[in-house]
């Protein structure tokens, strides 16, 4: 079963065919501004994105993609290849319908100070939408 997401105007959409075990809330300076919740896989493997995006490049590591028409942040993409020429990519789960992602627990990542995973606190995606 796939998870499907799209920006507000529908010009950019993604399909996630892997099985996520959680969505990640990161508190880094950009993720907290975007308010995104991320699910991860590899480009053109467990996740595919279609549509034209604009890109904001943060440092030399990561590209944040957003719809050129409505401005929704759709995904981020690593600027570096991993072994096997794989590229890490994460999609913004907030662009999916809630019934597709409501079961996902939230993982917390401290991207602001420690750059480490934090313990789960029992919240799931709907707790971030209410």
């604009």: which residue's tokens?
54
81-125, pLDDT tens digit by residue? 999 999 999 999 999 999 999 999 999 999 999 999 999 999 999
Tokens of 47: 């996740």
pTM above 0.85, yes or no: yes
CB contact set of 27 (below 8 Å; sequence gap of 6+): 108, 109, 110, 111, 112
List the CATH number of the domain containing 23. Answer: 2.170.150.70
**Number of domains composing the chain:** 1
51-82, pLDDT tens digit by residue? 999 999 998 899 999 999 999 999 999 999 99
Question: To which H or E segment does residue 63 belong?
Answer: strand 62-67
**Alpha-helix residue ranges (DSSP H) falling in the chain:** 31-34, 98-101, 125-129
The range of the structural domain enclosing residue 61 comes to 3-129
């Amino acid at each position: 079963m796939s998870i499907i997401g799209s920006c507000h105007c529908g010009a950019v959409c993604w399909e996630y065919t892997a099985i996520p075990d959680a969505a990640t809330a990161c508190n880094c300076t950009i993720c907290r501004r975007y308010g995104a919740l991320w699910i991860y896989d590899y480009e053109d493997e467990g996740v595919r994105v279609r549509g034209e995006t604009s890109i904001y490049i943060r440092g030399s590591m990561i590209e944040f993609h957003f719809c050129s028409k409505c401005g929704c942040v759709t995904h981020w993409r690593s600027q570096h290849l991993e072994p096997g020429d794989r590229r890490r990519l994460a999609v913004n789960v907030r662009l999916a319908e809630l019934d597709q992602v409501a079961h996902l627990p939230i993982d917390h990542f401290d991207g602001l100070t420690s750059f480490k995973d934090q313990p789960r606190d029992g919240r799931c995606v709907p707790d971030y939408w209410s």
